[in-house]
Amino acid sequence: MARAGSTGRGRLLVIAIPYLWLLALFLVPFLIVVKISLSQDALAQPPYTPVFDLAQGWAGFKDFVSQLSLDNYGYVLGWDNGFVEAYGSSLVIASISTALLLLVGYPIAYAMARAPKGVQPALLMLVILPFWTSFLIRVYAWIGILSPEGFLNQGLMTLGLIDQPLELLNTDLAVYIGIVYSYLPFMVLPLYSALEKLDGTLLEAAQDLGCPPFKAFWSITFPLSLPGVAAGALLCFIPAVGEFVIPDLLGGSDTQMIGKSLWTEFTANRSWTASSAVAVLLLVVLVVPIVIYQNIQARQLEAGK
Amino acid sequence: MSSRLSWFNVTSLVLGFAFLYIPILLLVLYSFNASRLVTVWAGFSTQWYVELWQNEQLIDAFWVTLRIAFLSSLVATVLGTLAAIALTRYGRFPGRTVFSGMTYAPLVMPEVITGLSLLLLFVAMGLERGFWTVTLAHITFTMCFVAVVVQSRLITFDRSLEEAALDLGCTPLKTFFVITLPLILPAVISGFMLAFTLSMDDLVIASFTTGPGATTLPMRIYSQVRMGVTPEINAICSILIGIVAVIVLAASLFAKRQEALRRREELAARG
Amino acid sequence: MAADQGRTQTIGAVRRTFAPWDNPAATPLIRFENVVKTFGAFTAVNRVSLDIYEREFFALLGPSGCGKTTLMRMLAGFEAPTEGRITLNGEDISGVPPYRRPVNMMFQSYALFPHMTVADNIAFGLKQDGMAKADIKARVEEMLALVKLESFAKRKPHQLSGGQRQRVALARSVAKRPKVLLLDEPLGALDKKLREETQFELMDLQMSLGMTFLIVTHDQEEAMTVADRIGVMNHGELVQVAPPAVIYEQPATRYIADFIGDVNLLETKVVAAGPDEVELACEKTPAPLRVAQGLGVPAGDTVFLAIRPEKMRVELKEAEAGPLPENAFEGVIWDIGYLGDLSVYHVELACGTRIKVSKPNVSRLVERPITWEDKVRVTFAPDAGVVLTR
């Protein structure tokens, strides 16, 4: 009996340690963000009021609540302040990038799944390898390619296709290229694992029943790869909405993305309260895709059994 | 599902891999350029690597980053493995939904949110920001990646192996170390490697949570990149790419060799 | 050779007289008392009471999902009963964790530790007990010899064939000399020939080790071959516990009659009930049916007559055949299944019901004596059938 008790304790520890860690360093910080988004900027350390003081008990709590305000949300949602535009354009850029990623990633994943079994691990390795190299480096590489004196412009000019450099860097196009380039492994891997699982005899059965290969693709392969499509799309879309490095390094001054706005609000304007409000609203925008993504993830892990 | 590849498939693969690798190859190639102009080839030179060696700021940043990455990925591996066990082995327990939500959310959470929220936590707790706060932040977001990697291994793990050990008189704790851990070790190691590279790579979360004296390499690179493209950055990027490529290739070759050995032995057993 | 023969004779002698379950003075080794196991709303095991005796080879038989594996896992300690008690040697073992029970299990998947050699796998349980190194070595060698794998000690499980893995799993689970060995579908992964051979090896092993074996299987032939007694389970309930021959010849319910082997089940009414004979009337035949079995069922009740196909005779109906005798049916051959050693005749009666009759093919079959659409008579002896009320 004593033994059974100690296993119960072990089980409790295994759950409690990571649980408490995530509560303290993942969930509680969000609550703090929400709280600060309802506070006012102040010239103090920390630079916001009210500061909740447990020592003052219930009266202190009432006092604290009465000082909370929605002013920051008014500021962030005000039309003139550019945040609403930034939310909108982040969603647009993320959607277009995700569509482009699907368009680029699907043929690659399909070809990988169709390749001889022996070379598939090598191909998989080739897709994953860039992911292990620094994200920043991969974005940086494109500055050298897209800049006015960069490789692309030089190449096009050498070929005589253009006679003066194209404006490529610091445009939305550069942001699209950057996102597609950096996120491609995240799109290809779920697609590949969905396509690779596909039972080859299904296609043979379809052909045996008189369905030509192209039609079999649309009526068999594609529908069965949809879980992979959904996983890949969400895995790219959600972080892309909040992307900061790519629009900052590759985008132009008129490329508005909410991650960049948040960063600027925080570092340049030093408004902790407004940036908290921006973060809370960004999370509100993303909560639905995140929940869908989690459901897919959980279901796939279950199916793995 | 394999056959001879159609021209369409071959084209997709060739174009896809060209897209993935040409930018990196150009970057590495031009780190050996003699000219300060990054995009005009002026002959082979290693001068930028030499200059790098004398750039103490960068070297400091590199060591800081390495220490943070090592420490945080070590702790993250332990925490992530525990989380994976809790999620796969203990069925339903109170708060499981919240727990699994907290484990999967950081995988897709925009870094600006994670970074900001952790910063605000550290400020609220009155912690002095620097090496330790970045390490804490990195543990938190990388442990979730470890958890997912280990979890997908645990799900396919034959539980009767553990039951057999218990049945033969081995206590649960000992069973974990003698049976479970050795068998999930490859997943734990790849979780560790993933956490390590994610930590080495992180710019946004580190920028939010760091303080004076703990500038990481990505932060240094970032502030220089904002000034424009320079061959030194190409050089340091090439070094990082080289390190990662060697480690990852070595690991995968090792895994492949093990696999081949195993397959041969299996064939021998059947024959 | 002589020694070998001697041993088999002893086994035969023991097998012939071994029946502690008939001895009211015998105390059982394992006792399940009103054991219930529920998983949420699902009842996996429902009020099972069962006694298993020392040195018995007991088989739990049933379709998948009938609760037989859950029952076994409760004995091993991997599941705790929701209600009821399990005792081993008179001691309640419900609080004892699996690693402290004198019971070992051979897993369906074998569960061989893939990172350990064959010898290390077999030594694993002994090491947990803190046995001395030299003793462990000796015991491992003994076990390897027992399963004839002496030259494979240094191999890893993936370097073995399926049959060899099965033997390692067996050796590992008996190495600790447990009081009870649990075998969860131990032969399920082997092909038919190897399975049949191994069944007899298991029986010999059980005899020579003198252990109690509890086997879980869904293969009725396997259960009938190896077991002293069989417990048939269905929907979490233990429906009959008896030696194989009794299960087959004297099934307790229609479910068991149907589950074990092939059977014709006919709904009948009791016409007259004697002390050791009942007369039944069946709508499917005008002939009266007389069965040598006294049941105490009053006349007028509906009962079921169960007759195995091999216990009936099928014959061509001759042109000048007399009126239908007792215990007979008349019909037309609707289909024939030729199985080599025997043929199964499906006879369609006038009412449309089909009954199965099998007939050994004692001579080489060149031309069928009975063929499709032949008019036939089917007869059976008074002691061939069983009357079932449930």
pLDDT in tens, C35-44: 999 998 899 9
CATH of the domain at B211: 1.10.3720.10
Pairing of strands C103-106, A40-41: unpaired
Angle formed at CA C271 by CA C270 and CA C272, multiple of 5 degrees: 100
Whether B140 sits inside 8 A of A25 (CB atoms) is yes
C108 touches chain B (CB under 8 A): yes
Q: Chains that contact A by 3+ CB pairs under 8 Å?
A: B, C
Q: Kindly state whether residue B187 falls inside one of the protein's structural domains.
A: yes
Check whether residue A43 and residue A131 sit in a common domain.
no
Q: Return the pLDDT at A168.
A: 84
Q: Kindly state whether residue A6 falls inside one of the protein's structural domains.
A: no
CB-CB neighbors (< 8 A) of C93 in chain A: none
Other residues' Cβ atoms within 10 Å of the Cβ of residue A305: 7
Considering only the beta carbons, identify the residue of B20, B109, B237 that sits closest to A130. B20
Total domains in the fold of chain B: 1
Q: Kindly state whether residue B221 falls inside one of the protein's structural domains.
A: yes
pLDDT one-digit tens code per residue, A66-103:
777 788 888 878 777 778 888 999 999 999 999 999 99
Share of chain C above pLDDT 90, in %: 35
The 8-class DSSP code of residue B44 comes to B
Spell out the domain ranges in chain C.
2-102+178-255, 264-388
Distance CA B195, CA C56 (A): 55
Residue C6 has pLDDT above 70, yes or no: no
Q: Kindly state whether residue A25 falls inside one of the protein's structural domains.
A: no
Considering only the beta carbons, identify the residue of B1, B234, B245 that sits closest to A114. B1
Check whether residue A49 and residue A138 sit in a common domain.
no
Check whether residue A57 and residue A117 sit in a common domain.
no
Q: Return the pLDDT at A46.
A: 66
Q: Kindly state whether residue B5 falls inside one of the protein's structural domains.
A: no
Mean pLDDT of chain C: 86
In what helix (H) or strand (E) does residue A40 lie, and over which residues does it extend? strand A40-41
Check whether residue A92 and residue A48 sit in a common domain.
no
Closest residue, chain C, to B264 (C-alpha): C159
- The CATH architecture annotation of domain C264-388 reads Beta Barrel (2.40)
Other residues' Cβ atoms within 10 Å of the Cβ of residue C73: 21
Considering only the beta carbons, identify the residue of B30, B80, B218 that sits closest to A134. B218
Closest residue, chain B, to C173 (C-alpha): B168
Q: Kindly state whether residue B234 falls inside one of the protein's structural domains.
A: yes
Check whether residue A138 and residue A183 sit in a common domain.
yes
- Minimal CA separation from C100 to chain A, in Å: 9
Total domains in the fold of chain A: 2
Distance CA A222, CA A228 (A): 10
| Domain end position, chosen among A45, A69, A93 | A69
Q: Return the pLDDT at C68.
A: 92
Q: Chains that contact B by 3+ CB pairs under 8 Å?
A: A, C
- 3-state SS string over chain C? CHHHHHHHHHHHHHHHHCCHHHCCCCCCCEEEEEEEEEECCEEEEEEEEEEECCCCEEEEECCCCCCHHHHHHHHHCCCCCCEEEEEECCEECCCCCHHHCCEEEECCCCCCCCCCCHHHHHHHHHHHCCCCHHHHHHHHHHHHHHCCCHHHCCCCHHHCCHHHHHHHHHHHHHCCCCCEEEEECCCCCCCHHHHHHHHHHHHHHHHHHCCEEEEEECCHHHHHHHCCEEEEEECCEEEEEECHHHHHHCCCCHHHHHHCCCCEEEEEEEEEECCCCEEEECCCCCCCEEECCCCCCCCCCEEEEEECHHHEEEEECCCCCCCCCCCEEEEEEEEEEECCCEEEEEEEECCCCEEEEEEECCCCCCCCCCCCCCEEEEEECCCCCEEECC
Pairing of strands C278-281, A40-41: unpaired
pLDDT one-digit tens code per residue, C281-333:
887 777 778 888 766 777 778 888 889 999 988 888 877 777 777 888 888 88
Which residues numbered 155-214 in C keep a CB inside 8 Å of some CB on B? 155-156, 158-161, 164, 172-173, 176
Whether C176 sits inside 8 A of B168 (CB atoms) is yes
Range of the domain at B79: 56-270
Whether A199 sits inside 8 A of B1 (CB atoms) is yes
Is the preceding omega at residue A116 within 30 degrees of 0, hence cis? no
Q: Kindly state whether residue B6 falls inside one of the protein's structural domains.
A: no
Range of the domain at A111: 85-304
CATH code of the domain occupying C2-102+178-255: 3.40.50.300
Check whether residue A125 and residue A61 sit in a common domain.
no
Q: Kindly state whether residue B24 falls inside one of the protein's structural domains.
A: no
Whether A1 sits inside 8 A of C100 (CB atoms) is no
- B32-36, B94-98, B199-203, C165-169: least confidently modelled range: B32-36
CB-CB neighbors (< 8 A) of B269 in chain C: 155, 158-161, 164
Q: Return the pLDDT at A1.
A: 31
Distance CA C126, CA A149 (A): 74
Q: Kindly state whether residue A145 falls inside one of the protein's structural domains.
A: yes
Whether C111 sits inside 8 A of B160 (CB atoms) is yes
Q: Return the pLDDT at C11.
A: 62
Check whether residue A116 and residue A254 sit in a common domain.
yes
Considering only the beta carbons, identify the residue of B102, B110, B172 that sits closest to A22. B102
Distance CA A77, CA C187 (A): 69
Distance CA C198, CA C192 (A): 10
Other residues' Cβ atoms within 10 Å of the Cβ of residue C268: 23
Residue C160 has pLDDT above 70, yes or no: yes
Pairing of strands A40-41, C30-39: unpaired
Nearest to A90 by CA among A248, A305, A211: A248
Q: Return the pLDDT at A302.
A: 67
Q: Return the pLDDT at A103.
A: 94
